[in-house]
């Protein structure tokens, strides 16, 4: 049996690789084609072209590559139709993946199409689900509250669990003084906007905790910028790029100051209390708040149905208010207890303790193919 899988960025490559490994366990002798990164290729995928060509973010980055991306969409759709797989499985990256699915579905309406990672229609732009249903039959959802949104739009959907529950945790070690995680984001704009505010915040915290240390896990693309932006911080951070050291820092930290994003789930998996901070263009924030369907940007708050993780966004992202929230979390008390309880609920609801998400996703795929 042939399956075509398409991933467009590293997170999708990880999801795809786990899915492929589980599919091979449940149904040996599968053949995989499509687009993927090194992890999916290691599981046997023959990639049409390097996945990195698709890993672009934002209009400014996409526009210069728009013609090339359109060519890759057409190429991927044509290759899928030529392979005549049992199913097309697209993984996140909706701007690319769903365009391919649309072309394929219009030419071969009976081909089963499955999309891994539901769009966040519960947060904004709910009309995306109905548009997606024109070319997608079935959705593999990471969050437990997403299936009703997908089925209402006309697609079947299974909650398969979030990959964070299957990721290895770091090793706890004895610590000398409080350890604060600084997580200013993985994009240059995020780091540039947030690093000065975190630095000012650390100055206020140091006055209360003079022995506090700071760890700053980052990625290669912004490591140099992080070095430059943190030179004047009152507590010099240990800048970490090694994945194992990053996991250990998450396991041992007492509290985190983090940019908004899925990092909140990594912190929750390690029971590390957090404060979320994010700076953006005031007009962008205004437009987002007008379009938003939820009152929180933090997945721990949304999944646990609490608001235990404090958020400081836009003009509210100030050192004085962030420092006060961090200090409240650094010692035992109601704020810390409430967050730890919400994190435990979040991890349980995301599938901790059950079958690995990749295996659940594989069972869902095979069930669709047997229908």
Does the pLDDT at position 65 exceed 80?
no
Could you give the angle at the alpha carbon of 190 between the alpha carbons of 186 and 194, nearest 5°?
Answer: 120
Measured between alpha carbons, how far is 109 from 225 in angstroms, rounded to an integer?
A: 48
Both tokens of 190, joined, read 């995020």
Both tokens of 226, joined, read 């992080």
Q: What per-residue confidence (pLDDT) applies to 64?
A: 64
Are 227 and 101 in a shared domain?
no
**Alpha carbon separation from 181 to 212, 217, 246, 249, 267 (Å, rounded):** 11, 8, 10, 8, 10
Whether 193 is in a domain gets the answer yes
Q: What per-residue confidence (pLDDT) applies to 195?
A: 96
- Poorest-confidence range of 2-11, 13-22, 28-37, 290-299? 290-299
Are 151 and 63 in a shared domain?
yes
- Poorest-confidence range of 14-23, 123-132, 357-366? 123-132
Whether 212 is in a domain gets the answer yes
CATH code for the domain of 213: 3.40.50.2000
Measured between alpha carbons, how far is 153 from 363 in angstroms, rounded to an integer?
A: 23
Q: What is the mean pLDDT of residues 346-351?
A: 97
Considering only CA atoms, which of 332, 336, 210, 205 is closest in space to residue 273? Answer: 336
Render pLDDT for 160-188 as a digit per residue (tens, 0 to 9). 999 999 999 999 998 888 999 999 988 88
Whether 168 is in a domain gets the answer no
Are 327 and 361 in a shared domain?
no
Are 183 and 300 in a shared domain?
yes
Are 103 and 226 in a shared domain?
no
- Poorest-confidence range of 53-57, 245-249, 308-312, 315-319? 53-57
Using an 8 Å Cβ cutoff, are 93 and 66 in contact? Answer: no
Are 217 and 243 in a shared domain?
yes
- Poorest-confidence range of 218-232, 290-304, 311-325? 290-304
Using an 8 Å Cβ cutoff, are 238 and 250 in contact? Answer: no
Both tokens of 131, joined, read 């548009």
Phi, psi (degrees; rounded to nearest 5) at 163 = -60, -20
DSSP 311: E
Are 11 and 55 in a shared domain?
yes
Listed in order, strand segments (DSSP E) in 37-153 are 45-47, 87-91, 112-116, 138-141
Are 82 and 140 in a shared domain?
yes
Q: How many CA atoms lie within 13 A of 51 on its CB side?
A: 27
- Look up the domain containing 291 and give its range: 179-349
pLDDT level of residue 288 (50, 70, 90 thresholds): low
Whether 157 is in a domain gets the answer yes
Measured between alpha carbons, how far is 90 from 92 in angstroms, rounded to an integer?
A: 7
Whether 30 is in a domain gets the answer yes
Does the pLDDT at position 58 exceed 60?
no
Whether 329 is in a domain gets the answer yes
Render pLDDT for 95-149 as a digit per residue (tens, 0 to 9). 899 999 999 999 999 999 999 999 888 767 788 899 999 999 999 999 999 999 9
Are 325 and 244 in a shared domain?
yes
Residue 258: partners with Cβ closer than 8 Å, 6 or more residues away: 181, 183, 264, 267, 274, 275, 276, 277
Whether 140 is in a domain gets the answer yes
Are 133 and 71 in a shared domain?
yes
Q: In a 10 Å sphere around its CB, with 0-12 CB exposed, 13-18 middle and 19+ buried, how is residue 369 labelled? A: middle
Whether 305 is in a domain gets the answer yes
Are 273 and 184 in a shared domain?
yes
Q: What is the mean pLDDT of residues 265-288?
A: 84
Q: For the whole model, what pTM was predicted?
A: 0.89
Both tokens of 156, joined, read 């079947």
pLDDT level of residue 279 (50, 70, 90 thresholds): confident
The tally of domains found in the chain comes to 2
Mean pLDDT for the chain?
Answer: 92
Are 122 and 42 in a shared domain?
yes
Q: What per-residue confidence (pLDDT) applies to 57?
A: 45
């Amino acid at each position: 049996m042939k399956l075509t899988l398409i991933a467009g960025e590293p997170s999708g490559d990880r999801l795809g690789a786990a899915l492929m490994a589980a599919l091979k366990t449940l149904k040996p002798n599968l053949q995989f084609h499509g687009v993927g990164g090194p992890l999916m290729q290691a599981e046997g995928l023959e990639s049409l072209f390097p996945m990195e060509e698709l890993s672009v973010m934002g209009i400014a980055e996409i526009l210069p590559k728009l013609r090339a991306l359109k060519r890759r969409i057409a190429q991927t759709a044509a290759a899928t139709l030529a392979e005549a797989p049992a199913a097309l499985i697209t993984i996140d990256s909706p701007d690319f993946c769903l365009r391919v699915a649309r072309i394929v579905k219009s030419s071969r309406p009976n081909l089963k199409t499955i999309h891994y990672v539901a769009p966040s229609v519960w947060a904004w732009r709910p009309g995306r689900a109905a548009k997606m249903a024109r070319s997608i039959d079935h959705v593999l959802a990471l969050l437990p509250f997403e299936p009703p949104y997908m089925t209402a739009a006309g697609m079947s959907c299974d909650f398969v669990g979030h990959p964070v529950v299957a990721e290895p945790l770091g090793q706890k070690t004895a610590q000398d003084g409080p350890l604060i995680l600084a997580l200013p984001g993985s994009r240059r704009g995020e780091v540039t906007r947030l690093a000065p505010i975190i630095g000012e915040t650390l100055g206020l915290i140091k006055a209360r905790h003079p022995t506090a240390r700071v760890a700053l896990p980052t990625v290669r693309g912004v490591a140099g910028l992080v070095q430059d932006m943190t030179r004047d911080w009152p507590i010099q951070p240990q800048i970490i790029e090694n994945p194992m050291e990053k996991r250990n820092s998450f396991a041992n930290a007492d509290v985190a100051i983090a940019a908004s994003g899925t990092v909140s789930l990594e912190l929750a998996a390690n029971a590390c209390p957090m404060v979320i901070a994010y700076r953006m263009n005031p007009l962008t924030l205004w437009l987002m708040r007008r379009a938003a369907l939820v009152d929180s940007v933090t997945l721990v708050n949304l999944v646990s149905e609490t608001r235990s993780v404090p958020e400081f966004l836009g003009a509210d992202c100030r050192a004085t208010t962030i420092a006060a929230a961090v200090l409240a979390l650094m010692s035992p008390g109601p704020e810390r207890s409430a967050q730890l309880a919400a994190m435990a609920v979040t991890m349980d609801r995301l599938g901790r303790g059950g079958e690995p998400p990749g295996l659940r996703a594989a069972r869902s795929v095979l069930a669709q193919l047997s229908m």
